[in-house]
């Protein structure tokens, strides 16, 4: 029982550290703040609004991600189903890569 609690705790700690050290998160946050802060207006209310919107969008995205993960888990009950899903996802990735290469040229 103690092992479960310790592994759960280390998972939470590593998750928090990953988020704090995530350069994409920092760049996205800096970009949002530099684009939407107006020095002529109240700074605190602007920051509170931006944080509220970012947290709201983040929570919504996580809920959608978790929902579709649960639905996908129901589809992945056998190795055959897993191969089909992997093939579809791999094919989608290849199509996007070809489309991007086509736009670059």
pLDDT single digits (tens) 15-51: 889 888 999 989 999 999 999 999 999 999 999 999 9
pTM for the predicted model, two decimal places: 0.61
Among 89, 56, 57, 55, smallest CA distance to 72 is for 89
Residue 47 structural domain: 13-77
Task: For Cα atoms 62, 68, 73, give the angle at the middle one, nearest 5 degrees.
Answer: 120
DSSP state of 52: H
Is residue 42 situated within a structural domain?
yes
Is residue 18 situated within a structural domain?
yes
Is residue 5 situated within a structural domain?
no
| Count of domains observed in the chain | 1
Is residue 38 situated within a structural domain?
yes
């Amino acid at each position: 029982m103690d092992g479960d609690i310790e592994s759960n705790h280390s998972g939470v700690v590593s998750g928090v550290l990953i988020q704090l050290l995530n350069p994409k998160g920092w760049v996205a946050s800096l970009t949002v703040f530099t684009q939407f802060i107006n020095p002529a207006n109240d700074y605190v209310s602007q920051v509170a609004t931006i944080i509220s919107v970012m947290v709201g969008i983040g929570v919504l995205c996580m809920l959608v991600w978790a929902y579709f993960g649960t639905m996908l888990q129901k589809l992945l009950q056998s190795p055959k189903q897993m191969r089909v899903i992997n093939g579809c996802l791999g094919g989608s990735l290849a199509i996007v890569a070809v489309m991007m290469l086509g736009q670059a040229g």
